[in-house]
Structure 1
Amino acid sequence: MNAALLLIIGIVLFLVAYATYGRFLAKKWGIDARRSTPAHTLRDDVDYCPADAKVILGHHFSSIAGAGPITGPIQAIIFGWLPVYLWVVIGSIFFGGVHDFGSIFASLRHDGKSIGEVVRQNIGQTGKLLFNLFSWLALVLVVAAFADICAGTFAYDPANPDNLTGAMAGTASVLFIALAVLFGIFVYRKNANIAVSTVIGVAALFVCIWVGYTFPVLTLSKTAWIVIVLVYIVIASVMPVWILLQPRDYLCSFLLYALLIGAVAGIFIKHPNLELDAFTSFAVSDGTSIQYLFPILFITVACGAISGFHSLVGSGTTSKQINKESDAKLIGYGAMLIEGVVAIVTIIAVAYTAVQVDGTPAVRFAAGVATFMSGFGLPMKVGTVFIILSFSAFALTSLDTATRIARYMFQELMGKGEKEDQPQFQRFLQKPIVGTVVTVGCAALLMLYGYEKIWPIFGASNQLLAGLALLALTAWFARTGRIKLPTAIPMVIMFAVTLTALVMLARNFFGAGNFLMGGVASVLFILAIVLILTTIKSLKKEARL
């Protein structure tokens, strides 16, 4: 099968969907470009801070992409490339795009607050408590999985001293963080021109890559990188968004754009054929257990088709920075479709190199895409370092965004903003640094298992979180007289997939003696069932009134 044809079909379908289905949703939901957004009405320049749509698209895209659309399809491709491809295309258009666009829109109409607040106003306080608890647990899994992936990507192995790829990417990433801080200071405090600053910032970004490639001084172990990454996300998650989050994600988006353009151009130049089978089997052994296409495919692909994490990003940070309500379509629906393109490129890269390359998802992805880029003269080694740096940069953006949102969730769980007269210890638990440290500490405990064991339960919780977000949106749309089917249909399907997966995962974990992960799966399942029943009860009660 020629890979270029698959890519063309996917891109054309995404463009048609954005122009038609995206417009249909915006019209039916009542998107109003003249309506003031929370970024203006609640502006504090810490969390609420309006910015240009291109900047926020960069922030949102970088935050939601992370390692998900690369790691997920790579692990799911054991079923063959065709099922993964079909789910990425269909999921991005009718599941993920609707979920992301709707989450941002709902947050904009609820003062930029999280989906948890949408749940409270449309389902009740108990529903909000359950949703926030579920979200916080899911975010701990996100932090654990992505931190482990980042540390493993940057790690230097003394037993293989000639392989400095990780050290190169790690060195460049540290320089990139410093560059982002400088960019934020000049643009948001020195009022530097955004166009000029972007040109200089992007040029400096590639200088960082060159320095990292030429002088890979950070030859550190995985353990050392774990400590550095965890300390970094603690600091980053409590800093004002303008000094690191916005500028870093904005500049990082150019890495992904460059990667996408290079990969797409390389695929058209080399016209690679997919070496992997289109379909293998409905039941595949991974060496320890049998993996079934339903539901494992749908929870493993994760961010490449739909991701509950996106609803937390959209309602946790993105909605607080949107300048006009009409920007929500580009940022929400558009970014999800671009992420779908990343997932398709990943499928092609891995299906092309399947019989040639082993290793981590970053290494397998980089091997394929660097081969494509060599078609227009980019040396394989340079391309590999650039791709691995891009991969790790996206994972880092998701990491500190996830930590920041988890901090919001933890503060709400501790009662922030609910009562003025609270015990001193409860007010202590509401402090930003406390919520951040508790979140990162719990993630560090789970990291002892490694991302391979965390990913399946992360995928299940992540997709179930998407179902719960769609549940909240459907309840809100029902109460406000808006169209419900675009969110209700994917909601039902995601519940069927994820609840089945959690039962299977809990059984496997308990059977293997892994009681911590089995317990996490069980708790997530129970919380979801209770929240679903709470929603049904609330809607029935309202219908009787």
Structure 2
Amino acid sequence: MYTFIGGVLLLILGYFVYGRFVEKVFGVKEQRQTPAITKRDNVDYLPMGKQRNSLIQLLNIAGVGPIFGPIMGALYGPAAFIWIVVGCIFAGAVHDYLTGMISIRNRGAHLPELAGKFLGKVMKHVVNAFAILLLLLVGTVFVTAPADLLASITPSWVSFGLIIAAIFLYYILATLLPIDKIIGRLYPFFGALLVISAVGVGVSLVVTGAPIPELTFANMHPDKAPIFPLLFLTISCGALSGFHATQTPIISRTTKNESQGRYIFYGMMIAEGIIAMIWAAAAMSLFDGYGGLNEVLANGGPAAVVSEVSVAMLGAVGGTLAILGVIVLPITSGDTAFRSARMIIADYLNISQKKFTTRLWIALPLFAISIVLTRVDFTLLWRYFSWANQSTAVIALWVAAMYLFIAKKNYWIAVIPGVFMTMATTTYILNAAIGFGLPMNISYILSTIITISIIALFFKAAVKRRKDQLQLDDEPTLAA
């Protein structure tokens, strides 16, 4: 219990201390006009209030990641708490803040465009394909996951296919209509449900004295799966997630003032970390050990854990409300996943999004592909999502590091987590069955060599780009 409560308090402290430090490193300019004002089109670019933007950002980035990921990561024991807290403060929140603020400084640009600017033109094309793949996986996972949960609490005559169709219909509308028409209006209600459900489970854990395990570095996983790199790929959205780099530009296009960035981008990642802590703690404490948790996951997946935890902690009525709160998370990330994919494709092809018909013909093929992907097993989709997700996070951190290096600012705040996650993600890809399937010891050696090579290439390119930047008067931004 002390580890859990202490971890939550550290997350809150991290926002006020390290978050302020990161903000100071970046250098906010309150007088500078944001893209919400300079590029206003009343579809994707338009100014909205700080609280509204923050709530949309939280729901955008949350998904089932800070719930399903920590539930599966709980199999490793309290080591999951360490990654959630440390990862969230020093990696995830830094990642979200820097990608959001750099996007604001570059006309609300998405990650592919930023990668092209700061890592080279080839990377623009690579990251564009990567981002679309990731968003399609996210959108699909966030259709099937809430559909499973809804099916568990709806009458038997409501078919799974009907639920899938209803979710897709909502996603189509949210993707195509101006951001303030559906997303801006519904998210306050969804947000209230999310907060109530998360707080309800968290308070119940403390009040009932749930046997939440204390800090240990031992590997508690029943199958003794290696903590490194698997834990850092399993728990993504609750600690560090590349998906967030695809979502922050949505809000960078609606932020009124740069001074709101820490609250919106860094702060909402901290909030997501707290949600992750709550669900990891619940999973560790309510199933008679890690073997019991493993059995529930094997029989019903993370959705079964959510259902059992919600009912056990809050009763039948409260549990149903909590499940609805969890259902809200993936739905409010799935809609913006497709919206972000539509925006990235439009930016890549330089197509204006003012007309409804142009938005429509870009979005429909995305939904067609996603419908096909819903027939793929969720567990397999999640594995590919984890790999693509953390690879995107690595790219975003190196983009942020390059920006800071060129601007002669403290680039280590992005380089250190970037190096760590490059090593973890590369090791996973080399070792995993869905990757190269190499033995773990060989994967460690090769990933070390690859990581060192990437570091060397980064600094070589960074020194050259800084020299080139000396010819310009302003900080590194995309050409107007």
Please, what TM-score do these two structures have when normalized by structure 2? 0.85
- Cα offset, 1:333, TM superposition: 0.9
State which of 426, 429, 438 in structure 2 corresponds to 1:499: 426
Which residue of structure 2 aligns with residue 308 of structure 1?
A: 242
Match of 1:385? 320
CA pair 276-436 structure 1, distance change in 2 beyond 3 A = farther
2:207 is aligned with 1:272: no
The 1:44–1:533 alpha-carbon spacing in structure 2 relative to 1, beyond 3 Å, is: farther
Aligned to 1:93: 89
CA distance in 1 between counterparts of 2:97 and 2:171 reads 27
Measure the CA separation in 1 of the matches of 2:122 and 2:350: 13
User: Match for 1:105 among 97, 101, 126?
Assistant: 101
What is the match of residue 480 of structure 1? Answer: 407
Alpha-carbon distance in 1 for matches of 2:138, 2:187? 18
Question: Displacement, 1:324?
Answer: 1.5
Q: What aligned pairs does 1:2-13 form with structure 2 within 5 A after superposition?
A: 3=1, 5-13=2-10
In the alignment, which residue of structure 1 is the partner of 2:471?
Answer: none
- Residues 131 and 533 (structure 1 numbering): CA distance in 2 closer, same or farther, change over 3 Å? farther
Whichever residue aligns with residue 11 of structure 1, its letter is V
Deviation at 1:92, TM superposition (A): 0.6
Return the match for 2:53 from 52, 56, 66: 56
Q: In structure 1, what residue type is equivalent to 2:44?
A: D
Q: Does 1:410 align with 2:345?
A: yes
| Aligned partner letter, 2:87 | G
Shift of 1:140: 1.2
* Aligned residue runs from structure 1 range 215-234, under 5 A: 219-234=157-172
Cα distance between partner residues in 2 of 1:284 and 1:496: 25
- Specify which of 450, 465, 468 is matched with residue 542 of structure 1: 465
**Which aligned pairs between 1:239-278 and structure 2 lie closer than 5 A?**
239-274=177-212
Query: Is residue 368 of structure 1 aligned with residue 276 of structure 2?
Result: no
Displacement of 1:279 in angstroms is 6.5
Q: Is the 8 A contact 1:118 1:476 kept in 2?
A: no
* Structure 1 pair 439–75 and aligned structure 2 pair: CA distance change class (3 A): same
Distance in 1 between residues matched to 2:458 and 2:343, nearest whole Å: 23
Q: Does the Cα contact within 8 Å between 1:66 and 1:398 map onto a contact in 2? A: yes
Shift of 1:78: 2.1
Asked if 2 retains the 8 angstrom alpha-carbon contact of 1:477 and 1:483, the reply is yes
Equivalent residue letter for 1:10? G
Instruction: Write the distance in 1 (CA, Å) between the matches of 2:436 and 2:123.
Output: 29
Is the CA contact (8 Å cut-off) linking 2:429 and 2:436 kept in structure 1?
no
Q: Is 1:166–2:147 an aligned residue pair?
A: no
CA shift, 1:282, in A, is 7.6
Aligned-residue CA RMSD (Å)? 2.8
| Secondary structure of 1:88's aligned partner | helix
Following superposition of structure 1 onto structure 2, how do residues 392-407 of structure 1 map, counting pairs within 5 Å?
Answer: 392-407=327-342
**Would the alpha carbon gap of residues 533 and 452 (structure 1) be closer, same or farther in structure 2, given more than 3 Å must change?**
farther
Whether the aligned pair in 1 keeps the contact of 2:61 and 2:244 (CA below 8 Å) is yes
- How many residue pairs match? The answer is 444
Unaligned runs of 5+ in 1: 156-164, 168-215, 374-379, 418-427, 512-527
Q: Provide the rounded CA distance (Å) in 2 between the counterparts of 1:293 and 1:268.
A: 27
What do residues 66-111 of structure 1 show as CA deviations (whole Å, max 9, x unaligned)?
Answer: 111000011122222x111110010110010100111111011011
Residues 32, 414 of structure 1: CA spacing in aligned structure 2 closer, same or farther, 3 A cutoff? closer
Amino acid at match of 1:166: I
Which digits, 9 at most, give the CA deviation of each residue in 1:419-472, with x for residues without a partner?
xxxxxxxxx9x9322332222222233322221111122112111111100111
- How far apart, CA to CA, are the structure 2 residues paired with 1:133 and 1:530? 23
* Rounded Cα–Cα distance in structure 2 between residues aligned with 1:387 and 1:347: 15
Q: CA deviation at 1:391?
A: 0.8
Is the partner of 1:49 in helix, strand or coil? coil
1:136 shift after superposition: 0.8
1:275 Cα deviation after fit? 6.9
In 1, the alpha carbon distance for the partners of 2:175 and 2:86 equals 34
Quick check: 1:474–1:488 contact (8 Å CA) kept in 2?
Answer: yes
Asked if 1:126 is matched to 2:126, the reply is no
Contact 1:370 1:384 in 2 (8 A): yes
Q: 1:108 to 1:413 in 2, by over 3 A?
A: closer
State how far apart, in whole Å, the 1-side matches of 2:345 and 2:453 are.
Answer: 20
Change in CA separation of 1:260 and 1:33 when aligned onto 2, cut-off 3 Å: farther
The answer as to whether partners of 1:275 and 1:353 remain within 8 angstroms in 2 is no
- Quote the residue 2:138 is aligned against: 142
- Cα offset for 1:303? 0.3
Is residue 352–residue 368 contact of structure 1 (8 Å, CA) maintained in 2? no
Task: Flag the 1:530–1:153 CA change in 2: closer, same or farther, 3 A.
Answer: farther
Deviation at 1:150, TM superposition (A): 1.6
Q: Counterpart amino acid of 1:227? A: A
Decide whether the 8 Å contact of 2:310 with 2:323 is kept in 1: no
Please give the secondary structure, in 2, of the residue aligned with 1:302.
coil
Compute the displacement of 1:24 (Å): 0.9
Measured after TM superposition, the shift of residue 231 of structure 1 is: 3.2
- Matched residues, percent identical? 28
Structure 1 contact 274–352 (Cα < 8 Å) conserved: yes
Relative to structure 1, the CA distance from residue 449 to residue 533 in structure 2 (aligned partners, 3 Å threshold; closer, same or farther) is farther
Instruction: Give the unaligned 5+ runs of structure 2.
Output: 438-450, 469-480
Q: Of 432, 445, 448, which aligns to 2:372?
A: 445
SS of equivalent residue, structure 1 residue 307: coil
The letter for the 2-side match of 1:22 is G
Distance 1:444 1:7, change over 3 A: same
Q: How is 1:59-70 mapped onto 2 (pairs within 5 angstroms)?
A: 59-70=56-67
- 1:340-367 per-residue CA deviation (whole Å, 9 max, x = no partner) reads 1101110111112223773342331343
